[in-house]
A = this chain, B = another copy of it.
Amino acid sequence: MDSLRGTGPSGPEAQPPNGNGRSRPRRTTIRDIARRAGVSESAVSFALNNRPGVSEDTRQRILGVAKELSWHPNSAARALSAARAGTVGLVFARPAKTLGIEPFFLQLVSGMQAVLSVRASALLFQVVENMAAEMALYRQWWSEHRVDGVLVVDPRVDDPRPALLVELGLPALLIGGPTSTGTVPSIWADDTGAMASIVDYLVGLGHRRIAHIAGLPELIHTKRRIDSFRAATRKYGLSTHDSVATDYSDEAGARETRQLLAEPGPPTAIIYDNDVMAVAGVGVAGELGLSVPSDLSVVAWDDSVLCRLTHPQLTALVRDTHAFGSHAAQQLLALIEGEAPHDVEDDVPRLEPRGSTAPPPLP
């Protein structure tokens, strides 16, 4: 009798304590499946991973048993032997105090996961204070084998991260555009085309004095927008100022708007690089006795509830952030699989005209 112990086609057996003090139930392993199906563990592995080495009959039988025992691979074991973590990392470097409204963020993440989840990858996500911490985290994750690759957001003009990623050999995708040191592949939205379409639209309405209140000048995409703004206004021979840079805050948006509107020959239309500043700008216009859109047209880059909470509602640039996230995840997974890196320019965003834009006042 005793000789049968441990060899029978039993499921999980008694629960040995696991050092933790508490005893957790033993999970089913491929060993359990092997025993019950009467084959070796390797056969089970072959069957479960859809690789040759077992007959179709046996494969089906094994799959049946696996389902019956509701087996799932232990991700740690798999990561250890297959040298694949099944995880990608995403870091947000931002001082805790400035963590504010991020309509962009959840959309992006949710888009990424639509792709990742079907490829059995998870997303390791972390918010840190600054870029130094972000880089330290990349080092740590990679050396601990925690991730197979990372998605890097907010690329900057002189960005130290690509060099690090190359040095580490950590597969990575820059979300937001190639940096000057273009050594890491990137995906980005067509800010240039988007800006051009906004200027086209405003000029079409009759505007000749257009301003652009931009975001952080260190960000690559801000640079693209600024450059494109200059090119577009030159194209039409408009005598506008250069874009003004801000930190994206409502205070900055209000301050710069006030500044612009106080000048002689003030703009009749302002393009804001985010919705928060646009709303702040509308507030300033109100204070100054200007009405939107009859005295001043306002366009917000990026759409969110905010743009629909104001009166009038804001004309905004909407983009499919969800899809953008999906594409990014796809690219990264391809990279991890060993595909040759290449840059990708995503779709051009669409301008959604609402109540905040109209022809300029008659001179």
Q: Which of A92-100, A219-227, A293-301 contacts B (4 or more CB under 8 A)?
A: A92-100
Q: Is A308 an interface residue (CB 8 A)?
A: yes
Q: Are A145 and B304 in contact (CB under 8 A)?
A: no
**Which one of B72, B80, B82, B109 lies within 8 Å of A125 (CB-CB)?**
B109
A164 close to B (CB within 8 Å): no
Binds B, one of A21-29, A190-198, A201-209: A21-29
Residues B80 and A76 in contact, CB atoms below 8 Å apart:
yes
- Interface contact A126-B113, CB-CB below 8 Å: yes
Query: Does A154 make an interface contact (CB < 8 A)?
Result: no
Interface mask (A30-74 → B, CB under 8 Å = 1, otherwise 0): 000000000000000000000000000000000000000011111
Cross-chain contact A75 with B22 (CB below 8 angstroms): no
Contacts of A87 in B (CB 8 A): 124
The SS class assigned to the A binding surface is: mixed
Query: In the complex the two chains form, is A311's CB within 8 Å of B338's CB?
Result: no
Is A122's beta carbon under 8 Å from chain B?
yes
Across the interface, which residues of B come within 8 angstroms of A19, CB to CB? Answer: 82-83
Smallest Cβ-Cβ distance to A80: which chain B residue? B76
Instruction: Tell me if B73 and A144 are in contact (CB < 8 A).
Output: yes
Tell me if A103 and B106 are in contact (CB < 8 A). Answer: no
| A127 located at the interface, meaning its Cβ lies under 8 Å from any Cβ of chain B in the complex | yes
Contacts of A27 on B, CB cut-off 8 Å?
143, 145
User: Complex Cα distance A97/B24, Å?
Assistant: 39
CA–CA, A248 and B31, complex, Å? 50
Which residue of B126, B143, B311 is within 8 Å of A122 (Cβ)?
A: B126
A314 to B93, CA, bound (A): 29
User: Knowing A305-B250, A305-B276 touch, does A117 contact B106 (C-beta < 8 A)?
Assistant: no
Nearest chain B CB to A147's CB is how many angstroms away? 9
Task: Give A107-150 as 1s and 0s: 1 = Cβ < 8 Å from B's Cβ atoms.
Answer: 10110010001000011111110000000000010011110000
Task: Kindly list chain B residues whose C-beta atoms are within 8 Å of the C-beta of A100.
Answer: 103, 106, 304-305
By the criterion CB–CB under 8 Å, are A144 and B322 in contact?
no
Q: Which residues of B contact A107 (CB under 8 A)?
A: 96, 99
Chain A residues proximal to chain B, CB less than 8 Å: 18-22, 24-25, 27, 70-77, 79-80, 82-83, 85, 87, 92, 94, 96, 99-103, 105-107, 109-110, 113, 117, 122-128, 140, 143-146, 169, 250, 276, 279-280, 283, 286-287, 304-306, 308-311, 322, 338
A–B complex contacts, Cβ < 8 Å, 27 sampled: A20-B83, A24-B169, A27-B143, A27-B145, A70-B143, A72-B140, A72-B144, A74-B145, A75-B85, A76-B145, A96-B107, A96-B322, A99-B107, A100-B106, A101-B101, A101-B305, A101-B306, A106-B127, A109-B125, A110-B127, A122-B124, A124-B124, A124-B125, A250-B309, A276-B309, A280-B309, A306-B309
